[in-house]
Amino acid sequence: MTLTVESLKTTDTHCPYCALQCGITLDPSPGAEAREPVLLSGRDFETNRGALCRKGYSAGNLLNHPERISTPLRRRTDGGFDPVSWEDALDEIAQQATRIRTQHGADAVAVFGAGGLTNEKAYQLGKFARLALGTSRIDYNGRFCMSSAAAAGNRAFGLDRGLPFPLADLDNASMILLLGSNVAETMPPFVRHLRNARDCGGLVVVDPRRSLTAELCAEGSGWHLQPTPGTDLELLLGLAHVLLSENLIDEDYLSTRTLGLASLRASVNPWWPERVATITGVPASEIRRTARALAAAASEAKTGGGPVYILTGRGVEQHANGTDTTTAAINIALLLGLPGTLGGGFGTITGQGNGQGGREHGQKSDQLPGYRKITDPSHRAHVAKVWGIDPEIIPGPGIPATELLHTLGTADGAKMLLVHGSNPALSSPDASKVIAGLRRLDFLVVCDFFLSETAAEADLVLPVLQWAEEEGTMTNLEGRVLRRRAALRPPAGARSELWILTELAKRLDAPGSFSADAREVFEELRLASAGGLADYSGIDWDDLDQGAAIYWPCPSSKTLNHTPGKRSGTPRLFLDGFAYPDALARLIPLYPGTSRPALHAPGKLALVTGRLLEHYQSGTQTRRVAELNAAAPEARLEIHPGTARAHGIRDGQRVAVRNERGEVVARATLSTAVRLDTVFLPFHFAGEQNANLLTDSTVDPISAMPEFKNASVSLHPLGDES
């Protein structure tokens, strides 16, 4: 594929992968035969300081990849695809949507979005679903990423923003408790922000696997707690018990800035360290050591010492009790008097590129732009006024992602699905159910730039722009809004999703107005978000273009002083109070189910899933980069040598990993990094290597987060053939 780059200039933008949104610079390649149409280099931006991971460095490989889709594709009866014009493709989508709505009702057409879409695309997708389609059935893959953290932040603080402080604040930390996040592999430039805590011997990593991040704790740099999978909540309750029973809490902070201490104290009374040790496998002495070290560091932070932070990631959040587990971590931060101070705080590490902005502007099933509630009449009225419609037109709340995907094609489920920027055939729990649902649909439309596993099931595939070909904004893990800039012209047949949604809205006679121009959509987003929790109304596009550091919430009253080199908006949340009317944070009592059945029967092992250094999400992009795929070409099952011996498994042998949901075949890698009762699989691979064929679709009752990180499996050695 040839991309035109003449007359294009050097462009500062951001990496297309994780929520660090590392700063990069793109220069058009000088030669027509260049492997990449742009030269990509890291630049001095706060999250990466010029460094990039190997995924970021190789991102330009995909822009002229031979497998790039450059024309709409329609499925043939034999399963193959034929090119079709944009006019015919859009007409067919509109006709199918109209037919299905007429026959089955508006909710028979569903939309599934993504945390990688720009703010403008996420906003317009939510608007399109509710106005052009009239459906409540919209959700997105961020439900599988940040939903538990968001729910916990909202109920404790009244507001959810991944990091309520700039990432650079970690640079001076004396102690960091990092729960369930392997940043050394998932976002390597993050590690430089852990350096001071490591130097102070204050990096504590909680992970059932000795990950690359946990290995940073070696040689006096901190310590690693390795609990039984699925017991993080009990471990955190044990830490809280020590803080309270030994009076290591910040009583002045708790009395002036929180509510609920008495109830919390009663709830943690039963969780003394010796009891917790029998559940988690973490020695009682280590539980006490960690709690006391946190308290000592927090006390020193208030008298001039380095700040203390508690950070969570997917490892503790992707569980059926993920909201409670994240809340337990927040409780500890509050007991230590950290959130809303300069002495430290609590944060959750957002994963997807626009995982923060993607969950603020209307993709979620219960949400309107600005983090507004779709059930609140005043919120509906505000957004309806911006949209120029009657509030009654806006549908009510829909259903979350797992339920939406697992009911596709059923009597009560959607008959038509539009997928934007996601690959649910690979990334959803109990994936075989999702694949079966996709095949039951009357009509499936997928917008993508490669033929992903989900796109391969589609009736129509629409080719869209890649990151270096589009304008827009992204919001990184700090809540900082950034400009994504186009550096080269896209293939002639590819189109912006903003254009696609605008053209479809015309064909569907949608009320309101739609635009294909990213800046116009951003200006409308500002108005729709005004007064909401995620208020973007004071953010100016031109200021972003000039490099201003602007963090939401940024109401219009904070429009001034958006100058490069200075922070504006709200870089640090909660300094003047939390986002409740009384400005007080909530300590939440938690009660793990005492009658919860044992997850793992005798002879079963706990399966933990996660990411590799070389790959990203479902691997649709990174598995197509030759050097990344060569470094990690297949799923490898990490298994402890003792466990392997007990199962008759040799290093490099193929193993069938089974449970009642399915079977995955992977090659064994023997490693003492995993517990004897645990195995690890990456989730980037397709076909018989798809780890999500085994994951549990049981969801958190508050966030609807599935149980990704703890499935019960058995192992069955196979032959040694390749």
Across the range 315-332, mean pLDDT stands at 96
pLDDT at 86 over 80: yes
Is 544 contained in some domain?
no
Q: What pLDDT sits at residue 259?
A: 98
With cut-offs at 50, 70 and 90, classify the pLDDT of residue 597: very low
**Calpha distance 557→569 (Å, rounded):** 9
Closest CA to 187 of 345, 51, 311: 51
Is 160 contained in some domain?
yes
Judged on CB neighbours under 10 Å (0-12, 13-18, 19+), 587 is: buried
Across the range 171-195, mean pLDDT stands at 96
Q: What pLDDT sits at residue 691?
A: 96
Residues 158 and 109 in one domain: no
Residues 303 and 403 in one domain: no
Check: CB of residue 473 under 8 Å from CB of residue 13: no
pLDDT in tens, 277-291: 999 999 999 999 999
**Calpha distance 597→106 (Å, rounded):** 40
pLDDT at 262 over 80: yes
Q: What pLDDT sits at residue 561?
A: 60
pTM for the model: 0.95
Q: What pLDDT sits at residue 7?
A: 46
SS3 6: coil
With cut-offs at 50, 70 and 90, classify the pLDDT of residue 601: low
DSSP letters along 529-584, please? Answer: HTTSSS--TT--HHHHHTT-EEES---GGG-TT--TTSEEE-SSTTTT--SSTT--
**Calpha distance 265→588 (Å, rounded):** 10
Residues 202 and 280 in one domain: yes
Is 3 contained in some domain?
no
CA 337-341-342 angle, 5° bins: 125
Residues 303 and 388 in one domain: no
Is 689 contained in some domain?
yes
pLDDT at 564 over 50: yes
Across the range 680-691, mean pLDDT stands at 95
With cut-offs at 50, 70 and 90, classify the pLDDT of residue 624: very high
Across the range 641-668, mean pLDDT stands at 96
Is 156 contained in some domain?
yes
Judged by average pLDDT, the poorest of 85-94, 197-206, 524-533, 617-626 is: 617-626
Is 571 contained in some domain?
no
Q: Which domain holds residue 281?
A: 149-350
SS3 128: helix
Residues 394 and 345 in one domain: no
Residues 392 and 518 in one domain: yes
pLDDT in tens, 459-514: 999 999 999 999 999 999 999 999 999 999 999 999 999 999 999 999 999 999 99
pLDDT at 261 over 80: yes
Q: What pLDDT sits at residue 122?
A: 97
Would you say the C-alpha torsion 418, 424, 428, 430 has a positive or negative sign? positive
Q: What pLDDT sits at residue 4?
A: 45
Across the range 557-563, mean pLDDT stands at 64
DSSP letters along 575-631, please? Answer: TT--SSTT--EE-------TTPPPSS-TT-EEEEEE--TT--TTSTTGGGSHHHHHH
Check: CB of residue 154 under 8 Å from CB of residue 160: yes
Region of 105 please: left (phi>0), alpha (psi -120 to 50) or beta.
Answer: left
Q: What pLDDT sits at residue 558?
A: 56
Residues 410 and 435 in one domain: yes
pLDDT in tens, 340-351: 999 999 999 988
Q: What pLDDT sits at residue 33?
A: 47
Residues 263 and 374 in one domain: no
Find all residues with CB under 8 Å of 329, minimum gap 6, and list them: 152, 177, 179, 236, 310, 312, 316, 346
Look at residues 350, 367, 386 and tell me which one is the last residue of a structural domain.
Answer: 350
Q: What pLDDT sits at residue 31?
A: 53
Helices 322-335 and 232-245, packing angle to 10 deg: 20
Task: Tell me how many domains the chain contains.
Answer: 3
Residues 222 and 255 in one domain: yes
Cα Rg of the chain (Å, integer) = 25
Is 311 contained in some domain?
yes
With cut-offs at 50, 70 and 90, classify the pLDDT of residue 615: very high
Mean pLDDT over each residue of the chain, to the nearest integer: 94
700: CATH: 2.40.40.20
With cut-offs at 50, 70 and 90, classify the pLDDT of residue 528: very high
Closest CA to 179 of 604, 711, 709: 709
Is 419 contained in some domain?
yes
Residues 251 and 393 in one domain: no
Residues 370 and 383 in one domain: yes
Across the range 636-654, mean pLDDT stands at 96
Q: What pLDDT sits at residue 85?
A: 98
Residues 334 and 200 in one domain: yes
299: CATH: 3.40.228.10
460: CATH: 3.40.50.740
pLDDT in tens, 36-51: 788 999 999 999 999 9
